[in-house]
Structure 1
Amino acid sequence: MSEMGVRVPQRLDDAERILIFSMDEFIGFIITFGMGLALGNALLALGASLGVLFGLRQLKAGAGLGGGLRWLFWNGLGDYFRISASPPPYIRHWVL
């Protein structure tokens, strides 16, 4: 017998990647970036597509929609979106 051996794939469940993106991230990034370029604003296109990329990665990380809402709340955008009736997290009131 020859000693060439047989190469067996170690991970069959790995997602297919395009550059550094998984397939769903790539599609969301390209669609958002393309729409922004069609509107004629490359900076807006890049910002919106990075936002979509961040949102998709949050959803895939198991945080779901709640993770995105918590991020909005703790970064001071909760007042704008009326996420919670609680006071804003960036204003601290100390009780002595």
Structure 2
Amino acid sequence: MADKYAIPARLDDPELIGFWTLDEFIAMVLPFIWGVLTQHILIGIILGFGCWWSLRKAKAGRAASWLLHLAYWYLPGGFVGLRATPPSFLRLMAG
């Protein structure tokens, strides 16, 4: 008799498109699309591979949110979306 309930082995795995996570796929495809639109396909392929490789090395076993946290602390204030620290009564809405 087969088990009535199936428990997944890994609950926290990210969604994959082929072999890549969504952020890696976007980092790889956008330079390629730019290369196709500007008729520089080879440059687009090289840039797409370079963006994918550098994002993969930047993540290096960490979650993708690590890069967002890094951007929040080291990039200018308006770059990530929050222009100032939200008031303390909105701390649950801030994330």
TM-score bucket (shorter structure)? 0.5 to 0.7
Aligned to 1:10: 9
Alpha-carbon displacement from aligned partner over 1:8-66 (angstroms, at most 9, x marks no partner): 1010000111011111000111111101111101111100000000110011016x9xx
Structure 2, unpaired ranges of 5+: 67-95
Aligned to 2:70: none
User: So what's the TM-score if we normalise by structure 1?
Assistant: 0.59
Counterpart CA distance in 2 for 1:56 and 1:23 is 12
Structure 1, unpaired ranges of 5+: 65-96
Highest Rg: 1 or 2?
Answer: 1
User: So what's the TM-score if we normalise by structure 2?
Assistant: 0.60
State the Cα RMSD in Å: 2.2
User: Secondary structure at 1:12's aligned position in 2?
Assistant: coil
Aligned to 1:29: 28
